[in-house]
Structure 1
Amino acid sequence: MDLMQTLDVTNFLLILQMIPMIVMLWIGVIAAWGLIKHKRKKAGYIKKDQNNFGIIVCARNEETSISHLFDSIKGSDYPSDKIHVFLIADHCTDRTADIGRSYPFVTVLERQDGPQNGKGDVLKWALPRIFEIDKDKKLDAFAVFDADNVLKPDFLEKIDDKLRRGNRIVQGNRLGGQPYRSIVTKWYTLYWACYTIFFSYAREKVGLSAFLTGTGFAVDGDLLREVGWNTTTITEDVEFSLDNVLRGQRVSFCIKAVCYDEQPHQLGVMFKQLSRWCTGGYEVLKKDFKSFVFDHSRPVRKMQRVDAIMLLLMGPCSWISAIISYINNIIIWYKLPLLYFLPSAGFAAFSLIAMFVGVFLVAKYNHIPMRKIGILALLTFPLFLFFYMLCSIKTCFIPTRKWTRIEHEALDSSQD
């Protein structure tokens, strides 16, 4: 190709790249808007009395970690007479159920039949049984945790405050437990810190809906009794969030309600988890996209509808835009004079530096000591995002059909 032909190709690719970039631009604008916007003024209390919490824990062979969760619940600042735990021992072959029974505030429900496709199936099985036990409706709200979680003492107090102010679905601030164990856990720690600020907290401040992130969340009891848990995808948390957005609800985010969640520390396990997340994202996109785009009978605010559509498209649009950008940059770097190469290289360098600065500041905001994260984890964090993109591309064509359990260990400290 001569110079003019090369310019025509690169300009065409640039225009083509702008189409999926609209989605990424929206995500960036919401993040920036949320960062500069002042906190929303708190509304007056709608409910005076503290909520009675039913805490649901789905566990499969978690004897090494489950006691740390129960001990953190026991050590909570929240009144003990307003907490009752339901341990759903799902196809367990170890001492998980026995450990649960050793705690007086825990009711154990054992599930030995039915599909083993993840937490969605377990919750769908467990909730009718929990509602039958609580047929007098003494429990006002239900919180859901994973067996490897540890709660900060004021977690339930902060979630309760959100619920009493009229929020019916509240996601807590999920941070990585044992964050410095390996470079993989360090990547996850930085990822969740960024997700907290740029995604969840930004949407909370501008009045849009966040997503549930699988654990550390609570749902108003009456709402949960009304809608149940009828998810069908491999990412039941995102599906439940969007189903309720379509019903006119909003997932609120409480940055002060902190719980710690053990993260994978091996590359192979990381790829399995990321593939499951990406597969679930495509499943939810297929299930809900038409409803958000065409079904205007749904009680969804216009801006919330647009935001949901953009979030559904974020996965495929991110890698489509990236691939077009890579192709365009290769052509520029090899075919065009230095005059055209320098702006492209300069923009790439600026983007990387901006990302590093942003990640660093977000880590500081979440009180994550960068001396423990280390310069290597920070500099290689783009690799995590690259691997995430690879998983998104792969699962678009070869989805992860089977849910794979991640082995957990004792999480006895949130930051050590």
Structure 2
Amino acid sequence: MDKLSIIVVDIFLHRGHSYVRILWVKKGVESVDFLSGITGTQIFNVIMLPIQIIIIFLTFYYFILSMFGLYRKPEVKIHTPEKSFAIVVAAHNEEAVIGPLIENLIQLDYPKKLYDIFVVADNCTDKTSLIAKNAGAIVHRRFNTEKRGKGYALEWMFYRLFRMERQYDAIIIFDADNLVKENFLFEMNSKLCQGHKIVQCYLDSKNPFDTWVTNTFSIAFWVTNRMLQLARFNTGRLSNVLGGTGMCISTDVLKEFGWGATSLTEDLEFSMKALSYGIKTTWAHDAVVYDEKPLTFIQAWHQRKRWAQGQVDVAGRYFFPLIIKGIREKKIMYFDAAIHLFQPALVMIATFFMLTNLIDAFQPQYTHVFTLVMPWTGWQILSAFQYLYPVAALALDRLPWRAYVGLILYPIFIYSWIPIVFLGFINRKDKQWSHTKHTRSLSIEEVIVKQKKISSN
């Protein structure tokens, strides 16, 4: 009986979504012509052959895509401030963190006459409105207990913005717990002046070293930034995906096509909606937003479960239309977006494959495709490269040494996505929005000083 000799795990993430592609390969399994004749393994082959082909294809696809994240291509930047911005912050009971954000936004390195700060105090029962107003924001209070959630709050605010006397070139969306690097608006201005309509920024962490959960959660974002978002941007042919905050959307796009993104993952929904109209999202690696990560595993679990529910929901509506559009227009960006939406299904398929292999290790039931594609040694080498992805992402973006410590517990965080995705699929019709509590009240100066101290130690 052949013993299991290697597990190839390929992990990629978006907006904290950590999806695991698992390839189980047996050493010494002889190649079989699975296309000839009918064998005793026919029933299992009907199920397992397509599963293996899907996993192999997507493993190679993401491996090749990640190679584009290993470098920065030169960018031409426009430094003359031209575009005007409406900065919108959707806040629900965020009195603990809203003040530092508004103070931070007021101090951004950009002409003050070219941007205004709006806060949507959404169903707030605390002092969010008062604190935001005193800090210098224009506050709009919204009360609607039926249409709850960030997507609805943004749609309500956009409706108001478009009817104001002053009009803006673009709208930028932040979460209340964020802090923003001072060059942010200049980076967005440059992208818009180059003709881009939708821009996503680099999502960093405000509190990466508070707990092991914030550390591993931050690693997930850092890997996504480099190996998925930057990689897609570097190809020049793919569309990036919005990440929930640090999003810049041209006003004319919102006016023409509407917002309409009210799912549990409004960012992903609008990304796919815009792409279905042929509008790509681009990436701004030098525009940085510091986002607060959940302190406990339970908090992170609930937040990720909400994301999983939302992604399954969006995939159900956009997966096949994007495939069809890709076939008609012969553009890879639509197929890539569909592959991104396929991730929850891939997690479930890979998990089924893993469990089936546990049985097959003792009693062979089906034909193994992996050794037909590449020798066992090749899979071993590929596995080694895939385990180095997080290390490469941290090194290339010059993150502090403490970030590497989180890699020890990173697998726990990653594999917890498996039950979360299954729960997300089961509860995909549950659209009830849940609020993530934010408590880390830090100034942008404190965050930057902490980073410098850790890097220098």
Could you say which TM-score interval applies, normalised by the shorter chain?
Answer: 0.7 to 0.9
Report the equivalent of 2:360.
331
**Matched ranges for 1:83-122 at <5 A:** 83-104=115-136, 106-122=137-153
Alignment pair present for 1:223 and 2:253? yes
Instruction: Judge which range, 262-271 or 312-321, deviates more.
Output: 312-321
In 2, distance between residues paired with 1:349 and 1:330? 22
Q: Secondary structure at the match of 2:342?
A: helix
Q: Determine the structure 2 residue equivalent to 1:384.
A: 413
Query: 1:295–1:157: structure 2 CA closer, same or farther, 3 Å change rule?
Result: closer
User: Against the structure 1 CA distance between its residues 2 and 293, is the aligned structure 2 distance closer, same or farther, given a 3 Å change threshold?
Assistant: closer
In the TM superposition, what is the alpha-carbon distance from 1:293 to its structure 2 partner? Answer: 2.6
- Asked if 1:155 corresponds to 2:184, the answer is yes
* Residue 164 (structure 1) shift: 1.0
**Which whole-Å CA distance do the structure 1 matches of 2:378 and 2:363 have between them?**
18
Residue of structure 1 equivalent to 2:159: 128
C-alpha separation in 2, matches of 1:346 and 1:385: 25
Give the distance between the partners of 2:415 and 2:378, measured in 1 at CA: 18
Question: For residue 308 of structure 1, what is the aligned residue in structure 2?
Answer: 337
Q: Distance in 2 between matches of 1:185 and 1:351?
A: 29
Instruction: Find the counterpart in structure 1 of residue 104 from structure 2.
Output: 72
Superposition map of 1:269-280 within 5 A: 269-280=299-310
Q: Go from structure 1 to structure 2 and tell me whether the alpha carbon gap of 1:41 and 1:101 turns closer, same or farther (over 3 Å shift).
A: closer
Q: Equivalent residue for 1:31? A: 66
Task: Report the alpha carbon displacement of residue 153 of structure 1 after superposing the two structures with TM.
Answer: 0.8
Cα distance in 1 for partners of 2:179, 2:95 equals 15
Structure 1: state its 5+ residue gaps.
Answer: none
Q: Report which of the two has the higher share of helix.
A: 1
Residue 247 (structure 1) shift:
0.7
Deviation at 1:231, TM superposition (A): 1.6
Query: Within 2, Cα distance between the matches of 1:53 and 1:85?
Result: 9
Report the secondary structure of 2:109's partner residue: coil
Aligned-pair distance for 1:96?
Answer: 0.8
CA gap 1:323/1:347 in 2 versus in 1, 3 angstroms = farther
How many residues align? The count is 400
1:247 aligns with 2:277: yes
Q: Is the 8 A contact 2:123 2:145 kept in 1?
A: no
- Tell me the CA shift for residue 349 of structure 1: 7.5
User: Which range is displaced more, 343-352 or 58-67?
Assistant: 343-352
Could you say which residue in structure 2 is the equivalent of 1:360? 391
Q: Is the 8 A contact 2:326 2:334 kept in 1?
A: no
Q: Whole-Å Cα distance in 2 between the matches of residues 119 and 112 of structure 1?
A: 13
Give the C-alpha shift of residue 69 in structure 1. Answer: 0.7
Query: Residues of 1 paired with 2:2 and 2:91: CA distance?
Result: 63
Q: Distance in 2 between matches of 1:9 and 1:170?
A: 50
Instruction: Report what 1:258 is aligned to.
Output: 288
Contact 2:174 2:246 in 1 (8 A): yes
Whole-Å separation in 1 of the counterparts to 2:272 and 2:147: 23
Is the CA contact (8 Å cut-off) linking 1:14 and 1:328 kept in structure 2? no
Other structure's SS at 1:57 match: strand
User: 1:301/1:114 Cα in 2 relative to 1: closer, same or farther (>3 Å)?
Assistant: farther
Unaligned 5+ residue runs, structure 2? 4-28, 33-39, 451-457
SS in 2 for 1:243: helix
1:185 to 191, 203, 214: 214
CA contact (8 A) 2:292 2:438 kept: yes
Q: For residue 387 of structure 1, what is the amino acid of its counterpart? A: S
Partner SS, residue 181 of structure 1:
coil
TM-score, normalised by the number of residues in structure 2 = 0.79
Please, which of 256, 260, 264 is the counterpart of residue 234 of structure 1?
264
* Secondary structure in 1 matching 2:263: coil
Contact 2:99 2:135 in 1 (8 A): no
Query: Kindly, what percent of the aligned residue pairs are identical?
Result: 25
Are the equivalent residues in 2 in contact too, given 1:170–1:219 (CA < 8 A)? yes
Structure 1 pair 184/37, CA: closer, same or farther in 2 (3 Å)?
A: closer
Question: What do the CA deviations read for 1:77-136 (whole angstroms, capped 9, x no partner)?
Answer: 1111212011000011111111121134x2110001253532111111111111112x34
| SS, match of residue 126 in structure 2 | coil
Question: Are 1:393 and 2:428 an aligned pair?
Answer: no
Q: Distance in 1 between matches of 2:309 and 2:139?
A: 31
Could you give the per-residue CA deviations for residues 11-68 of structure 1, whole angstroms, max 9, x where no partner exists?
A: 9486343233123432332222x236762664x86x9652111100000111110111
Quote the Cα distance in structure 1 between the aligned partners of 2:100 and 2:360. 55
Contact 2:326-2:335 at 8 Å conserved across structures: no
Aligned-pair RMSD on alpha carbons?
Answer: 3.1
- The 2-side partners of 1:72 and 1:61 are apart by 19
Once the two structures are superposed, what CA deviation does each residue of 1:303-337 show, in whole Å capped at 9, x if it has no partner? 112112211112211331243034315533x468x
How far does residue 71 in structure 1 lie from its aligned partner after superposition?
1.5
**Counterpart code for 1:99:** I
Residues 256/195 of structure 1: CA separation in 2 closer, same or farther (3 Å cut): same
CA offset digits 1:315-374 (Å, max 9, x no partner): 211331243034315533x468xxx9xx9998898666544432122112233212x235
Deviation at residue 198 of structure 1 after TM alignment: 1.1
Alignment of 1:17 with 2:51, yes or no, is yes
The equivalent of 1:61 in structure 2 is: 93
Cα distance between partner residues in 1 of 2:408 and 2:166: 55
Match of 2:16 in 1: none
Amino acid at match of 2:92: R
**Is the CA contact 1:175–1:258 (under 8 Å) kept in the aligned structure 2?**
yes
Distance across 1 between alignment mates of 2:351 and 2:180: 38
Aligned residue for 2:7? none
